[in-house]
Amino acid sequence: MLETVDCVFCGAGDGRVVYSRRDSRYRLDDQVYSMCRCPQCGGLYLSPRVPASDIWKYYPTDYYANTMTPGQIMRAELAKNVAKYAYLSEMRTGRLLDVGCRHGAFVKFMQLFDWQAEGYERNTDVPNRFDCPITYGPFADIADQRYDVITLWAVFEHVYDPNAYVEQFRQMLPAGGKLVLQVPKFNSFTGRFLRIEDVPRHVTAFTPAWLTAYLGRHGFRRVAINTRCDVFWGSSEGTLGYLYDRLRGKSADEALYALCGHDRDRSPSARRKLDSVFGWYFDRILKRLDAWGQMTLTFEKE
């Protein structure tokens, strides 16, 4: 059962459907989900969507790398953690909260640089693989805690009640405290043409200008933005394969599953090599045109 909702940002109804598609990552159901744009505030939100009480069924074990050892996780995520650290390296060390920390690899990584790093994870089934200080359960349970920096890496687009989270961020941060958000960029090539939003797990979507204005209304000032970041996948690689599948008569959902599906064919082939080379060059054009698929924004509480 899906639920139809009004805008999660301002409560307005009658959202306009921007596009509709199925789950192209795990295919756990055959439901059609629609990304809608609010006619009042311009926010992008998923409706219909999976109810919050059932969404955990859409996060399989491999989503959290539960079968990997801590050493394997740290090696696999080392480049990502180094890239994340670059956004914090100029900040004075202090108390840091990583929201949606999963197994705690980034928390452990930041502890190596003398940060008092802690994690928060909503899903109580995700194991703490690094014996880090991680709080589980409702986010409101830690509203009385105070931090100097709060980070969300590919997390905010999963949040069902963004207003409640942002208001709690305000409560938890001091004046001048930093909020670092990494989210997919909706007005990018991958966001608009390939429609690579991980629905139904992604329940909101963002553009740089809209997210800046939204957080500004909640008392946060943007101090930095990188719309060409590659902490997470934002590449156009796979575009040729997608177009080829569409020309062969596959539906958009089928072509997108071939591109993004967790069990997609990764075996070497001339087609995939050509797609990889094309993507390498095309990505540089997209970054020059500011059409890359990911963005990281740093905000300061006013």
Q: Residue 123 in contact with residue 134, Cβ under 8 Å? A: no
Report CA 52 to chain centroid distance, whole Å: 17
- Torsional sign, CA 214, 49, 157, 155: positive
Q: Which runs of E-coded beta strand occur in the chain?
A: 16-21, 33-37, 44-46, 95-99, 116-121, 134-136, 149-153, 178-184, 204-205, 220-226, 294-301
Q: How many CB atoms lie within 10 A of CB 177?
A: 20
Q: Sheet harboring 204-205: ordered strands across? A: 16-21, 33-37, 44-46, 204-205
Structure tokens given for 78: 């080392």
Tens digit of each residue's pLDDT, the chain (302 residues): 899 999 999 999 999 999 999 999 999 999 999 999 999 999 999 999 999 999 999 998 888 877 789 999 999 999 999 999 999 999 999 999 999 999 999 999 999 999 999 999 999 889 999 999 999 999 999 999 999 999 999 999 999 999 999 999 999 999 999 999 999 999 999 999 999 899 999 999 999 999 999 999 999 999 999 999 879 889 999 999 999 999 999 999 999 999 999 888 778 788 889 999 999 999 999 999 999 999 999 999 99
- Helix (DSSP H) and strand (DSSP E) numbers for the chain: 9, 11
- Scan for tokens 């209304």, then name that residue: 217
Report CA 252 to chain centroid distance, whole Å: 22
Half-sphere exposure of 102 (CA within 13 A, CB side): 19
What is the pLDDT, as a whole number, of residue 291? Answer: 95
What is the pLDDT, as a whole number, of residue 264? Answer: 82
Q: Residue 93 in contact with residue 114, Cβ under 8 Å? A: yes
66-71+81-230+294-301 has CATH 1.20.1270.10 classification: no
What is the pLDDT, as a whole number, of residue 209? Answer: 98
Q: Residue 210 in contact with residue 292, Cβ under 8 Å? A: no
What DSSP character marks residue 143?
T
d(CA 21, CA 242): 15
Instruction: State pTM to two decimals.
Output: 0.95
Burial 262-276 (b: 16+ CB within 10 A, else e): eeeeeeeeeebeebe
Q: Residue 22 in contact with residue 253, Cβ under 8 Å? A: yes
Read off the pLDDT of residues 4-58 as tens digits, 9 standing for 90 and up.
Answer: 999 999 999 999 999 999 999 999 999 999 999 999 999 999 999 999 999 999 9
